[in-house]
Structure 1
């Protein structure tokens, strides 16, 4: 099996053979296994199948249960995109009048790091009967299943952040069982942005520029909807990339248009004149580096915060970079400067004395006056990944040496090294 749309190298595979003899005796044979067999790790469906085989008495003769477990590389796709999770039953099977039973489940970590991981059924299929969990309704399909019931590859569209997790595909056909594991990571974050000077001050062109200056691009309607389903809400009308103006509503809010006739969803003002002034919704895709909190005794003004980050080998983080770092787990209750002159802080763990018990990137001030630049706060810095030039030098050296041996060049030992001064 080959991973589809995945990052990384080849998948790993384990094959296990269980001989079930009369009276319930079970013998285990493993082939190229990397770990001891653990029936509980194989999941409830296989344990149930084994119990049926034993207690219903599959005849007096012994039978073989053939299991294969395959782990695929992580699949990574962006918010509102599409992911293909591979699962193709490849075991050699005997002819069976019954179609295979397919079960897709997802395991997510505990909410806010508390409690136990939760396993959720995504989809089950047997023959022409396919059942889908309501949370995935209209978004999942088995594109190859109609042509072959052994192809259980699943496609998820309109991806949401909370779709991330470890997916298991379990296919049972007679005495043959296969379990594929596919981790999925949905990256990117939608955030509301307003001009540092005031609310509703951005034309369509200004909105595009504002997102770009904050390590992002204008969000699409699909991305705003995906963020809404993840719980995002903002009672501020903002530009999207199709020149429409919209905002997301989760709960009734006084002063927010539509709160009286409340219905959750994304409000749409339609396509607007590009010269009109609104806020904007931006989408930050990926963080190619690190965001870190920096503090000094006495705090920092905006200019000294910028100098501080430069002295640490970085620069003041943008709003988009801070949102991506928050999504990755950055948590701090200390307000700090960002590159646009705003003061914000990321809250990942809910607590009453931090951000009012709310999660997200909290804003202290929109920097509405010029005097605000002299206020004192900490700083959030961004430092990009360092490129490893050493590996390039090693490749150059390894290519140079064989040629130098053939030409008897005396420079072989000095290739790829720098001179010191």
Structure 2
């Protein structure tokens, strides 16, 4: 008897699957989002069935496409979500913030795979990751507000941020770019031109309170007037140089001005200069008033005696570009170079153009002034 029931059960199930409404059914998920599967003769022309949404819709938005901030400051990246139609009761949603460094190729199909987590939050629980740990929080100023607050911005925080809101099977996201206000400066070794491989260049910029510049940062500086005839590493591993005035010794007189590129180079075997990027500083750079000129060792000690430290090249550039430091006196810096910042060109102050002018790397025994850096507490 049992053996006779089994074929009958299979036949009944088969008939149920053949009923017309079995091919045009509503798939109901526990999160309240509803879809209609129109797979019975309704394809998109590519042989793929279409799924139509006929319920609640999740929207994630931001009024920001690009955000500019200063190093050491706090910044808020805006992200809000809402539902259509509006809901009468709150729902448990999860938010994830991701970060893609500025030097990453955002057009690559592997972009998402290279994103790093910044924060994950659900309800009152949250977790931050990597260099963002302890520096980020959600603002939550109103229902649906998932804006990210980043404290104590660092040079390496620049890049693309993505806010993803998840509700059950639904997820939507929005992206924005974070940039720091700063200045790009060319930098070379005390041994001479073209002595940095890529990793040497990274370290050299870091030692001077800077980071390797991105192409976008170098291009913006070129638009602002930077003209430099020596090629340098950028953060993406390319080697480029900005030319405003075309000339024979800089790639050819008949070649159009612009940021010229050597493309990617071997990061260990090839050697060039560096283009560094620095942003505003949390402190003051000043020329030390001293009764006599100083050799390098005396210069370091003189700053220390004032409760300061000898300034780095990146700090001097930031003070010149962002704080208007103007001083027609050459002084030692921490890398044993001698430089001075000019915002208002004038006679007897070097070239008739603004900039941080450099005397190179004199012998440490030679006598100059010194630029000190006093950090804010």
Of 237, 254, 260, the match for 1:267: 260
Q: Which runs of 5+ in 1 are unaligned?
A: 6-74, 87-184, 387-421
Of 352, 361, 366, the match for 2:347: 352
Distance in 2, matches of 1:325 and 1:283, equals: 13
Q: 1:245 to 1:186 in 2, by over 3 A?
A: closer
Aligned partner of 1:77 in structure 2 is 69
**Pairwise CA distance, 1:252:** 2.5
CA contact 2:247–2:254 (8 Å) conserved in 1: no
Aligned partner of 1:321 in structure 2 is 315
Aligned partner of 1:102 in structure 2 is none
Q: Which runs of 5+ in 2 are unaligned?
A: 1-62, 79-178
CA contact 1:198–1:366 (8 Å) conserved in 2: no
TM-score of the superposition, structure 1-length normalised? 0.47
Q: 1:334 to 1:253 in 2, by over 3 A?
A: farther
Of 374, 379, 385, the match for 2:376: 385
Q: Does 1:202 align with 2:193?
A: no
SS in 1 for 2:221: helix
Q: 1:257 to 1:215 in 2, by over 3 A?
A: same
Aligned partner of 1:364 in structure 2 is 359
**Pairwise CA distance, 1:350:** 1.7
Q: How many residues align?
A: 209
Distance in 1, matches of 2:301 and 2:258, equals: 43
Aligned partner of 1:343 in structure 2 is 338
Distance in 2, matches of 1:280 and 1:366, equals: 16
SS in 1 for 2:227: coil
Distance in 1, matches of 2:250 and 2:329, equals: 29
Deviations 1:238-286, CA, capped at 9 Å, x for gaps: 000111000000012442223x223111000000011211000000022
- Pairwise CA RMSD: 2.5
Distance in 1, matches of 2:240 and 2:193, equals: 15
Of 283, 287, 290, the match for 1:296: 290
Q: Specify the structure having the higher radius of gyration (Cα).
A: 2
SS in 1 for 2:226: coil
Q: 1:325 to 1:299 in 2, by over 3 A?
A: same
CA contact 1:214–1:318 (8 Å) conserved in 2: yes
Q: Does 1:376 align with 2:367?
A: yes
Distance in 2, matches of 1:379 and 1:254, equals: 37
SS in 1 for 2:359: strand
Distance in 2, matches of 1:189 and 1:310, equals: 27
Larger strand proportion, structure 1 or 2?
2
Of 242, 253, 267, the match for 1:248: 242
